Every structure is written in C-alpha cells, then in structure tokens.
Amino acid sequence: MVRIWQDSDIGTMLAWLDFSIAKHINFWDSIISKLDESRQIHTGDGFLFTTQQIQDKLIGLPREKMYDDSIVRPYPKLVEILAKGTPCLPGLAQNLVVKVHEARQRFEGDNLYSDALQPTSTLHHTTTYSEKDIPAAQNFPDATDLTNTHSPNNHHDALQSSSVCPARIESFSADQGCALLAISNSPKDIHLTRSAVQATQLSSLEDKNQRLTEENQILKNALEPGESSFYEFYRQGWDMQRRIRSMQTAIGFFDIQVPASQEFLSFAVLDERMDEVQAELQEITHCLGNSVAARGVTIIRGSKLESLIHSGFSSASDMRTADKLLDECLSSSDTLTVIITLVLTAIRDWVLDTTFPNLQDGLISSSFMGAYRTLSIDCVGPSAALNLETAAYHQFINSALFKDHLVPQTAAVLADSFLHASSCILPAGLSSDALEYLRYRLTAMFTAACHLKASSALTNSRRYQFIVYPPGPIPESNPSALSSSNQANITPQSRSQGCLKVYNTVFGNILNRQENLLLQTKNFLGADEVYSSRPYLHSKTIVLQNMEGASLSNSHQTSHVGIRNESRDIHESGSELSSPLSLLDPEDTECHDTLTPSKGDNHGSVDGSLSPQGTELQRSNAPSASKYYCSLCSQKFVSTWSLNRHKGRQGHQTRLAKTQQAKFLA
C-alpha cells in the first residue's frame, strides 16, 4: 500500500491515477479510502485525507529531488500531473493555476531588489552576484511546492521540455466539467480561459437546478393527498402530535381526573376474573389427580423452570439451588400443590407483573392509536377530553384485534412455554389426551389472566399485588387477606393457593407514570416489593378444593367422557381459543348413564338446596372430580360460575332438545 504522506513514495500516486482512469472508477471513493486505512495502520494517525491535501501533493510532484548528492530521482512533468489528475480530481487545474501564479509573483518580488543578492561570504567560499545574473522570468522553475521555491535542487527546464499538447489536457478536463488550461512552453502563458470558467459554472448550476427541480416536484406531489399516501400517513401523525401537545398543555395529560364510573374497576369484575382463574386451576387439579411428579430431576441453569422455582419457592436470602428447592417441596408437600404453585407463579411473572398489553408494539399501538385518533377528532372540549384516555383504551381491549387475536395467541404461547418448561417434572403416566387437555386448560387460564391484567390498566389510581402461597403452612399474616366471599369456601379439604390485593395510590404513586405512553399497564407490584404497611381496598383469594377423583392419566371411561363434555362446553360457549382441541368432538351428544338428571328443569345443588340463581344441582354416584352437574345436558362443572355461564349460553335449549331427541330415537 502506498504511503503518500512520505516523500519517498509520493510518486506512486500517478500509478493510482492511471489505474482509476483505465478502470473508470472513482478515485476519491475507491483509492483515497484505502490510503486512509493504510495511513491509520502504519502511523496510527486517525486524521483523514482532504481534497486539498491530495491536490497539494499532486501539485508538488513536478520536480527532481536530489538524494545523497549523487542519486537523482526523476519526477513527472507538470503537464503530466495535470493530464492525469484533472479527470480524477475536479478543480485541480484551477488550483494549479493559482499556485503557479502566486509562486511567480513571489519569485518576481524576491528579485525586485538586487541589493539583497550582493556579495556575501560564508565559511566555504565568497561569491559575487549581480542583477544581470538573476534568472529571467521565462526561466521560472517547475517546482510548485511553495515552501521550497528557492531550493538549490530545483531545475528550470521542466516546463520547457513539456511534450503534452494542450489538446490532450483539454480532452481530459472537458469530460469532468473542469476549467480548461492552455499551456505552452512559457510559464507566463499558463492562463485560464474565461469561456471555460463560465462553462464550468454553468454546468454546476445546471446540476444544482436539476436537484432542486426534483425536490420541488416531490414536494408538489406531497401536497396532493390523492397522489401521495406518504403525505397522508405523515399528515395524520403530525395532526396527532399537535393534538397531544395541545391536550398536555390544556389539562395536564398525565394527571387526568377520570370520573369514578370509568376510573375505578369494579371489584365484582375483579372477582369474576379471579373466579375464572380459580375454575381453570381446579380443572387442572382434576387433570393431574393423585399423580406423583418425578424426583431427582436435573434442572437446566438459566431455564424458565429454574426461574419459576426460585420465584415461587425461595426467599431473598435462600441460596439453595432449584434442584434442592424442588426436591424439598416435593418431600414436604403433595405433587399437585407444587405444580399449582408453579402455575400461579407463571401467571404472576409472565402476565400480571409485565406491561401487557405492550402499547409500544407496532400492531397493538396502531390499533390503539387508531381508536384514540377517532375519539380525539370527536373531542369538542376539555370535559370530553377528561375521559378520552380511558375511553380509547376501553375501546381497544374490546376490539376484535385484542380479544380474538392478541389474547388467544399470547395465552397459547404461554401455555406451551409452561408445558415445555415443566415437562421434566410432570407425572410420567399422563396420556396424550391428558396432556392435550392440560394444554387446553392452561390456555384458558392464561386467557383469563390476560383479561384481568388488561382490565386493571383502566385504573391508574390503583396498584395490585398477586401473592402466591408456597407449599407448607400459610403465614399468619396471610389469612387476613381472605375476603368475606372466600371465608365460606375454606374447608379442611381446601387450601388457599394465592391472593390478589388491591391498594390505593392516592397518597403517592410508587411507579413512574411516564413509563407508558398513555395508560399505566405496569400496575402490579413485584413479588419482592413490600406494600403491607398500607391498607388494601379489596382482596380475592384463590381456594382450591382437594377433591379425590379419578385422574385423566387413568383409562376410566366415566372420567374421559366428562372431560369431553366439559371441553365441548367451553368451546361452544364462545371461548377466545383460536381452534378446538383434537380430543374435542362437537358431534358427540351422548351423555353418560351415570350422570343422572334431576326431575324438572331446575338445577340442584350438591346438598339439595337452592343456589342463589334458584337452580337445583344433583350429584351422581360416579367417581368424578367435578362438584356441580347440569341436569339438563349432563355437563359437569367445578364452580357455580361455570354452571351459570353454561346455563346462560345461547343455543343451550336447542342442543338439549337435539340430545333428548337422540335419546328418544335410540
């Protein structure tokens, strides 16, 4: 690689110029960049070459330099530099003329007074000069290195021996739009023609005018919404930014006081969402039954299972590994409680303690901002703008994009992730139908958790905490979290697995409201955050019944039929799941004989008493894990909430009539 910053290698620049011209490549972009890289490697100097530096180096080439007073290294002639450098470096000819003109004036000015060159004596010799001995102007040296004009090593015949005609120089410079030079044997005749200067300026102005014309045309096209979707897209963005800035200035965007009817999420809605999670957890316990998890499993470091075990079973000061924690929990508690604890921990860590829905996501934010834009256009004053934030988000979570796509897809991914993470500790005796049913129940449970999380974002003045009780005795401080609605459900055969607490943040927001663009979706306290010093507004505890029944891992026919009917019920009741499971048979209308319907059209309870809805439930003698049964269609349910949802489903009576007709025909 040539090192053009060294005088000994400066002559090789001409080889690069010849190469650039022969190969029709850009000298500056292709060659100088490599020279910069070489300069950095050999000298460590990070400064890059400039156009002026390269031009000065080329102009300084036409000279002969003496080495050791005996070796003469020839250098190219001025016209050769001009012919080769002009096509690669536009403007070189103009700079060359200026340099030569300045050097000539300096040369003539230095010889204006002859007194300065009168006889002088040195240690070596004494020489006498006279004005007539001064070289004439026509003998102007070819050296254009201005710092070395009076060097005694310069010779005076470089330009006089020029063999390159002006036509050749003109051919090189005309293509590049540079000024033309007319060079003769006399340096005084080097001049720049006026027509060439004007032609160069005109060419530059034409190029600039062409660029401005193209930019102007682009702007004109943008002014026509029918021709430019680009302008329409950014016009909406600019309009939204203007409206948001106006709202922030007018009413304090992040301190909007929304009326209580929209700001506060009803406790009944929270209880309903928690009941959904509890019902799905109860079905998971029926699926697992009395199975025993595998022991002595090696848990992969950094896996999701290790994170869930540490998050659900260990404290901040606990330094035990995940393997030891799991073995100790399985030794001191039953397998079902340990697995349910991991499931609740996944709900807390993967859904509730996150920013779901993530409004920064492109698809989600576009839908949400679309609803926000529609409402903002209809906003006619500050009073309507007060409810704008909540109304837009409420419209978003009720949209088809959120309910039919985002939530089901998220829940399915979380269910698969949990099954994959816990596959090493799940009972080995589970059949493929049981695993598929377990995946179905996990998906439904994560769906309910996603809806709970999304609904809670409407309450900016509240904070929530989801507590997971690890296996073992519940701490004394935790039973106070049981609400009055849960106290009646606590029996010796039941256990509270988790609790949701609701706090008020009027006295100080512990989270940064500026983290989210519009709504506070990061509103759940982490597992390690202590918030017990502040009284809570409401609590809801998940209580699971330790009911003995046949496991799905067994091949009992009654249990299998009950699962098929329950899966069909959930699928037909409008669940958000994208597709039915493979074990689900929509055409199956057969009811098992052991599920005996009661007389009349009422639903009865287990003990024969009437439920708050006036329905009567009757329990069969079949070894089933469900607690409530529908006497009309022989479906089984784990809670009154599931039974009421089943009863109010559209088309229930029609399907029941078809079932009874099939029985009659049989």
Record the tokens describing residue 390, joined without a space. 């909540």
Residue 299 — very low, low, confident or very high, per pLDDT cuts 50/70/90?
confident
**What confidence score (pLDDT) does residue 179 get?**
39
Q: Which residues contact 565 (CB under 8 A, 6 or more apart)?
A: 588, 591, 633, 634, 635, 636
How far is residue 424's CA from residue 105's CA, in Å, rounded to a whole number? 92
Q: What is the mean pLDDT of residues 96-107?
A: 71
| Residue 13 to residue 97: CA distance in whole angstroms | 20
Mean pLDDT of 626-644: 63
356 against 546, higher pLDDT? 356
Of 24-33, 158-167, 573-582, the range with the highest mean pLDDT is: 24-33
Task: Check if the beta carbon of residue 1 is closer than 8 Å to that of residue 34.
Answer: yes
Going by pLDDT thresholds of 50, 70 and 90, the confidence category of residue 629 is: low
The pLDDT-based confidence of 266 (bands split at 50, 70, 90) is confident
Residue of 93 and 44 predicted with greater confidence: 93
pLDDT above 90 coverage of the chain, percent: 5
Structure tokens at 86: 């002009």
pLDDT above 60 (res 219):
yes
Structure confidence by residue, pLDDT tens digits, 439-457: 999 999 999 999 999 888 7
Quote the tokens at residue 213. 């014309």
What is the Cα–Cα distance from 309 to 321, expressed in whole angstroms? 9
Q: How many angstroms separate the CA atoms of 525 and 69, rounded?
A: 86
**Quick one: tokens of 421?**
């993470």
Residue 357: what pLDDT? 84
The tens digit of pLDDT for each residue in 456-494 reads 877 767 788 888 887 765 544 444 444 444 444 445 456
For 174-196, the pLDDT digits (tens) are: 444 343 444 444 444 444 555 66
pLDDT band at 364 (very low <50, low <70, confident <90, very high): confident
Q: How confident is the model at residue 351 (pLDDT cuts 50, 70, 90)?
A: very high
CB atoms within 10 A of CB 216: 10
Give me 587's structure tokens: 């055409």
Read off the pLDDT band of 264 (50, 70, 90). Answer: low
Compute the average pLDDT of residues 263-282: 82
Which pLDDT does position 628 carry in this prediction?
Answer: 62
pLDDT at 318 over 90: no
What number is the average pLDDT over the span 485-506? 65
Residues 614 and 605: their CA atoms lie apart, in Å, by: 10
Give residue 450's pLDDT.
93
29 or 147, which is more confident: 29
pLDDT at res. 233: 57
pLDDT at residue 229, rounded to an integer: 57
Rank 70-84, 159-173, 208-222, 585-599 by mean pLDDT and report only the highest: 208-222
Return the minimum-mean-pLDDT range out of 227-241, 497-511, 647-661. Answer: 647-661
Per-range mean pLDDT, top range of 11-20, 114-123, 149-158, 325-334: 325-334
* Strand pairing report for 536-545 and 494-504: antiparallel
Q: Give the contacts of 576 (CB within 8 A, at least 6 positions apart).
A: 403, 404, 407, 408, 411, 447
**Residue 372 confidence (pLDDT):** 67
Residue 277 has pLDDT above 80, yes or no: yes
**Range in 261-275, 352-366, 488-502 the model is least confident about:** 488-502
Angle between helices 335-347 and 407-421 (to 10 degrees): 140
Q: What is the pLDDT of residue 440?
A: 92
Find the range with the poorest average confidence among 361-370, 455-464, 543-552, 613-622.
613-622
pLDDT confidence of residue 502 = 86
* Residue 471, CA atoms < 13 Å, CB-side half-sphere: 21
Amino acid 120: pLDDT = 46
Instruction: Compute the average pLDDT of residues 85-101.
Output: 74
Flag whether pLDDT at 134 surpasses 50: no
Mean pLDDT to the nearest integer, 210-228: 68
Beta bridge partners of 533: none
- In the prediction, which pLDDT does 445 show? 92
User: What does the mean pLDDT of the chain come to?
Assistant: 62
Average pLDDT over residues 204-221: 76
> Does pLDDT of 607 surpass 70?
no
Query: Which is more confidently placed, 239 or 617?
Result: 239
CB-based contacts of 35-40 (< 8 A; 24+ apart in sequence)? 35/1, 35/2, 35/4, 38/1, 38/2, 38/3, 39/3, 39/5
Q: What is the pTM of this model?
A: 0.46
Give the pLDDT confidence score for residue 434 in this predicted structure. 84
Helix (H, G, I), strand (E, B) or coil at 381: coil
pLDDT cut 70: percent of the chain above it: 41
Encode pLDDT of 522-569 as tens digits.
Answer: 788 776 566 556 678 888 888 887 644 333 333 332 233 333 333 333
Whether 528 contacts 534, CB under 8 Å: no
Predicted local distance difference test score (pLDDT) of residue 260: 40
pLDDT at 33 exceeding the cut of 90 = no
| Confidence (pLDDT) at 52 | 74
